[in-house]
């Protein structure tokens, strides 16, 4: 009953019920603020109000993704410039994030100078701590990801997976871009799954969980490889938890879905957009008129409020 009350209150505040939310799930072109209360998601259309809503948040962090440093094709010939814009935007947020999450494809071709450029640009962020997971583009050095691990994953396990805690929230960074099998999707692999099962075993059911990985951990569009073959097993370990948020990149556009207590969300890229599933011959970079580019790139601001068991995500474009 209490949940119902809470839901009503939130509905009153936000003006969009679950049905409305489901409608909004389809290709959100602008952005969406959404919170979870008692496992029931409610939402409102985002209206340039970053930071205003969540001044009381106990933990704020920002997700950036797919910076593809080194990319120089017509879809964006200045990925340095757009990443800088993203960092400027983050530095201008009303509530400063405690840290940044980068959900992979940091580089385009895993070249040292590409990683160097990203590191250099991220130094200008007010938030000094950055947590990474690799994308498939970060695994292209001769050592099949050794360069990534040496730079970003020194204390990580296996191909770069790890977990950490911030203000009562448990974060799990997963790697689903190595040892991919012909014809398949993203893969976590047995070793990582076993580690993850063990990692969450000791946690209280009330611990909010944030899982982040490059390729979506839900079946967005398998025809384009937008999913992870063994994600169901990973999510199975999280069934006992009341609040699970899954943050991914890879598809360069916002997608969101709610399944029980699990909310899935993909972030925009800071480099170039990709087409909606099935709306083009392939998922390759999508060229938009130059003046529109920044309106299809973006960042995701995430706020957690203790006790309220709510986690709010705010997507905003670089425009």
Partner 1 sequence: MRGHLRALVFAGSVMVALVLSGVAGRSVHAEQAGTPEVKIDNFSFGPATITVAAGTTVTWVNRDDIPHTVVSADSVFKSKALDTDEKFTYTFSKAGTYSYFCSLHPKMTGQIVVR
Query: What does the binding site for partner 1 look like in residue numbers (CB under 8 A)?
Result: 73-75, 108-110, 136-137, 140, 142, 180-185, 222-225, 281-285
What are the angstrom distances between the C-alpha of 243 and each of 59, 174, 203, 206? 15, 18, 12, 7
User: How far apart are the C-alpha atoms of 254 and 317, rounded to whole Å?
Assistant: 11
d(CA 291, CA 302): 27
Cα–Cα distance between 73 and 66 in angstroms, integer? 15
Would you say 16 or 80 has its CB closer to partner 1? 80
| Residues 46 and 268: beta-carbon distance below 8 Å | no
* DSSP assigned state of 140: -
Please name which of 144, 138, 91, 84 lies closest in space to residue 115, comparing C-alpha atoms.
138
In the complex, least distance from residue 319 CB atom to partner 1, rounded to whole angstroms: 23
Residue number with CB closer to partner 1 (183 or 307):
183
Give the tokens for residue 306.
């203790």
* Burial status of residue 184 (CB atoms within 10 A of its CB: 0-12, 13-18, 19 or more): middle
- To partner 1, the closest distance from the beta carbon of 232 in angstroms equals 18
Closest distance of CB 172 from partner 1, Å: 24
Cβ distance to partner 1 smaller for residue 17 or 276: 276
CB 298, min distance to partner 1, A: 20
Q: Which is nearer to partner 1, 1 or 281 (CB)?
A: 281
Nearer to partner 1 among residue 12 and residue 181 (C-beta): 181
- The upper half-sphere exposure of residue 313, i.e. CA atoms within 13 Å in the direction of its Cβ, equals 27
The residue (of 94 and 284) whose beta carbon lies closer to partner 1 is 284
Q: Pick the closer one to partner 1 by CB: 108 or 170.
A: 108
- In degrees, to the nearest 5, what angle opens at C-alpha 229 toward C-alphas 31 and 156? 80
- Give the shortest CB-187-to-partner 1 separation in angstroms: 9
The SS3 of residue 303 is strand
């Amino acid at each position: 009953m209490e949940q119902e009350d809470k839901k009503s209150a939130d509905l009153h505040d936000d003006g969009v019920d679950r049905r409305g939310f489901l409608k909004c799930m389809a290709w959100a072109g602008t952005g969406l603020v959404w919170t979870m209360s008692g496992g029931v998601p409610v939402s409102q259309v985002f209206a340039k109000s970053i930071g205003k809503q969540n001044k009381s948040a106990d933990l704020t962090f920002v997700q950036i993704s797919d910076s593809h440093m080194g990319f120089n094709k017509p879809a964006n010939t200045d990925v340095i410039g757009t990443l800088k814009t993203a960092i400027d935007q983050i530095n201008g947020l009303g509530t400063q994030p405690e840290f940044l999450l980068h959900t992979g494809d940091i580089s385009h071709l895993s070249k040292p100078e590409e990683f160097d450029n990203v590191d250099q640009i991220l130094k200008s962020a007010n938030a000094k701590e950055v947590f990474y997971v690799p994308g498939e583009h970060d695994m292209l050095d001769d050592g099949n990801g050794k360069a990534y691990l040496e730079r970003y994953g020194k204390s990580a396990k296996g191909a770069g997976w790890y977990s950490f805690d911030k203000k009562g929230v448990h974060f799990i960074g997963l790697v689903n871009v190595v040892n991919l099998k012909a014809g398949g999707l993203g893969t976590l692999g047995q070793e990582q799954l076993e580690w993850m099962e063990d990692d969450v075993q000791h946690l209280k059911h009330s611990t909010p969980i944030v899982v982040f990985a490059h390729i979506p951990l839900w079946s967005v569009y398998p025809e384009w490889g937008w999913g992870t073959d063994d994600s169901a097993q990973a999510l199975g370990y999280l069934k006992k938890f009341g609040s699970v948020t899954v943050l991914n990149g890879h598809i360069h556009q916002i997608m969101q879905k709610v399944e029980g207590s699990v909310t899935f969300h993909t972030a925009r890229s800071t480099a170039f957009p990709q087409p909606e599933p099935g709306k083009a011959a392939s998922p390759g970079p999508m060229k938009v008129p130059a003046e529109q580019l920044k309106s299809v790139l973006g960042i995701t601001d995430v706020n957690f409020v203790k006790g309220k068991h709510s986690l709010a995500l705010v997507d905003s474009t670089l425009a």
